[in-house]
Amino acid sequence: MNLDSQLRSAIQQAVNALFSQQVEQLLIQPTNKEFEGSHTLVCFPIAKISKKGPEETARLIGEHLVANSGVVSRFNVVKGFLNLVIADKVWAEVFRSIFADKNFGTLASNGKEVMVEYSSPNTNKPLHLGHLRNNFLGYSVAEIYKALGYTVHKVQIINDRGIHICKSMAAWKLFGNGETPQSAGLKGDKLVGKYYVEFDKNYKAQMKELIEKGASDAEAEKKAPIMMLAVEMLLKWEAKDAETVQLWKTMNGWVYEGFESTYKRMGVDFEKLYYESNTYLLGKEEVMRGVESGVFFKKEDGSVWVDLAADGLDQKVLLRADGTSVYMTQDIGTAILRFRDFPKIEGQVYTVGNEQEYHFKVLFLILKKLGYAWAEKCHHLSYGMVDLPTGKMKSREGTVVDADDLMQEMVDEAEKQTRELGKIEDATDAQIKALSEMIGLGALKFFLLKVDPKKRMLFDPSESIQLQGHTGPFIQYTHARIRAIIRKANEMNITPSDADLGLVNVLEPSEREGIGMINNYIHKLNEAAREYSPALIANFAFDLAKEYNQFYQSIPIFNESDPVKLKFRIAFSHVVANVLKKSMLLLGIHVPEKM
C-alpha cells in the first residue's frame, strides 16, 4: 500500500473511531511551505460529521493519528487545516520501495493513444526563436504522455502552400538569377527566407510608389506588381501549372533539407508529416459538403462562409471567391485525415501560439457542426510569445532570431564558460564540444520550458546559462555532482541494498523533504499532462536539485561513521540523480556524468 493509501486509510479509521461515521471523500492537499508537515487534511467537511468546530475536529483527528496509526509522528492545526508530519520510518519505507523499483517514474502501457502536433512551420522562412519554444513544448508534452503509458503520435503539418509561399517564389523568380543553396553557401531554408524578406522590401517600395501616384492604400496593396505576381502564381499552382509546381517543389525541397538539420540539433522527432498541399483538397470537399447540408453558405461572389453568430462568434470565410482555400480549409481536412489515420487516439493536441486561439475555437466548432464527435477531443496547447531584450520579432522584416544561430550562440557560450572554469582539464576537445552542446542546448530548453506555456516570456540568453539560479545548467551540475559521489562510493565498495534501507528509522530534514518530493513525482507527471505544462516538470526538477544541494551542504556524506546511514545517503543520492535525469529527459535535456 502506498503512502497516500496508508494515510487515507488511517484517517478514515480515526474519523470512524472518533465520530462513528465514515467520510465519503477526504480532501488532502500538500502542506503550505510555511507550516511543518507534508500532507494537509481539510477538516471543514468533517466538522459536519463531528458536530464540533473545524479546529477541534482537526485536533482530535491529529491526536488519534499520532497515538494509533504509526503513520503520523506529529501534527499542527491552522484553523480547520490539519498539517501532518509523516513518521520517519514510514518515509524510509516509501524510499525503500522507490529504490527497489527499477522503472520508477515510467508507467506501463495504459492502452491509450494521443496525438501531439508541434512545429508546423511555413516553407517560406527558417525556424526562429518562437519555433524553438513551440518544438520544445510539443516534444515535452509528448514525452510526458509517453511516461504515463500512452502511445504517442508526434506529427506536424507542413504549411507548404498559400500566398506566403508564393511570395518567396515570386521574389526568387524576379531577383534570384538561378541562385541555389549550393551556389549561395546557405542552408536552403535560409535562402528561401532571404527571398521572403526581399519580397516584403520590394512590395513596400512598390506600394509607396503607387500611393504617390494617387492610388489608395487598398489599391496599392492589390496592384503592386510583385503582389500581383504572387497571386498569379498561387492560382497557377492550384491549377497545377507545370512550371509553377516545379519551382514550388524545388524551393520547398531546399527548405526541408534545412529544417531536417535544425530538428536534429533541437533533438525533436516526428512519426508522421502532413502537408497542407495534400490536406487542403479534403478540406475543400468538406466545405462543399457543408454547403449542401446547410452548415455553410455561399455569398454572391462565390465565396463560402460559416456563420457562428449564434455561438457568440462571427462569420468566417472558408473558400475565397476565386475558389482558393484558406488556412481554416486545410485545418479541417488535416483534422479529419488524422482521425482516419489514427482512429484510436484519445485526443489531438495542437501546439500553436496564443495569437491563434480564435482560429482553433472556430476550427473545433466547425468540426462539431460537420458532425464529428471527436472534435471534443481536440485541444489547443496555446502558448505565449517569446520576447527578447531587443523587442518583438518580425519574419517578413528579417528581424527574427534564427533558431540555428541562437543554438550555436548558446553552445559557444557554454564552451567558453566551461573552458574558463577549467574543471575538466583532462577532457579532450571532442569531449568538451559534446559537453558544451549538452549544456548550451539544455540551458536554452530549460529556460523556454520553465515558464507556464500560457504566459508570454522574455528570453535572456546570459541568464539562462548560469550555473547558479533557476537554470538548466544548475540541474545538470547537480546531477554531475551526484554521479561523482556514486563513483566514489563504488570505489569504496559501498553498495546499498533493500535490506540496508529497511534498518533506517531516523531521517535528516532534507532527506525527508527529498523523499516526499520524489514520492510526488508521478502525481506531478499527471498534473503536467492534464495541464499540458512541461513547466511543472522543469520546476519540479529545479526544486529537487535545490533540495539535494541543501542536503549535500549540510551533511558530509563520507564522514558518516554509521554504515547504515552512509548506505542510505548513497542510495538517496542515486535515486535523486535518476529522477533528475528522467525529469530532464522529459524536457528533451540530457544531463552529464561529469561537469
Domains of the chain: 3-86 (3.30.1360.70), 125-397 (3.40.50.620), 403-586 (1.10.730.10)
Q: Residue 351 and residue 454: Cα distance in Å, rounded?
A: 11
pTM: predicted TM-score of the whole model, two decimal places: 0.92
**Residue 3 predicted with pLDDT over 80:** yes
Q: What is the mean pLDDT of residues 310-339?
A: 93
Q: How many CA atoms lie within 13 A of 212 on its CB side?
A: 6
Q: Residue 349 in 3-state DSSP? A: strand
Q: What is the mean pLDDT of residues 370-383?
A: 96
How far lies 505's CA from each of 65, 92, 98, 499, in Å?
Answer: 19, 7, 16, 13
Q: What is the mean pLDDT of residues 325-343?
A: 94
Helical segments of 241-326, H only: 242-266, 276-292
Q: Residue 174 and residue 224: Cα distance in Å, rounded?
A: 14
Residues 59, 77: contact at Cβ < 8 Å? yes
What is the maximum span of the chain, computed from C-alpha positions, in angstroms? Answer: 92
| Model pLDDT, residue 1 | 64
Q: Residue 495 and residue 99: Cα distance in Å, rounded?
A: 12
Q: Residue 68 in 3-state DSSP? A: helix
**Residue 396 predicted with pLDDT over 60:** no
**Residue 397 predicted with pLDDT over 50:** no
**Residue 419 predicted with pLDDT over 90:** no
Q: Please state, rounded to an integer, the average pLDDT across all residues of the chain.
A: 94
| Model pLDDT, residue 110 | 96
Q: What is the mean pLDDT of residues 10-14?
A: 97
- Which of the residue ranges 141-150, 422-431, 564-573 would you say has the lowest mean pLDDT? 422-431
First-to-last C-alpha distance (Å) of the chain: 39
Among 219, 223, 229, 232, residue whose Cα is nearest residue 199: 229
Q: Put residue 105 in one of left, alpha, beta given phi > 0 → left and psi -120 to 50 → alpha.
A: left
Q: What is the mean pLDDT of residues 410-434?
A: 87
Grade residue 421 by pLDDT with cuts at 50, 70 and 90: confident
**Residue 437 predicted with pLDDT over 90:** yes
Joined together, the cell numbers standing for residue 157 give 503539418
How far lies 391's CA from each of 388, 454, 457, in Å?
Answer: 5, 19, 12
Q: Residue 515 and residue 538: Cα distance in Å, rounded?
A: 18
How far lies 182's CA from each of 12, 186, 188, 258, in Å?
Answer: 73, 7, 9, 12
| Model pLDDT, residue 399 | 55
Among 3, 2, 28, residue whose Cα is nearest residue 15: 28
Joined together, the cell numbers standing for residue 377 give 477531443
Residues 281, 333: contact at Cβ < 8 Å? yes
Residues 538, 470: contact at Cβ < 8 Å? no
| Model pLDDT, residue 390 | 65
**Residue 398 predicted with pLDDT over 80:** no
| Model pLDDT, residue 422 | 76
Q: Residue 465 and residue 452: Cα distance in Å, rounded?
A: 19
**Residue 503 predicted with pLDDT over 60:** yes
Give residue-wise pLDDT tens across range 86-120. 999 999 999 999 999 999 999 999 999 999 999 99
Q: Residue 57 and residue 349: Cα distance in Å, rounded?
A: 45
| Model pLDDT, residue 91 | 96
Q: What is the mean pLDDT of residues 449-453?
A: 97
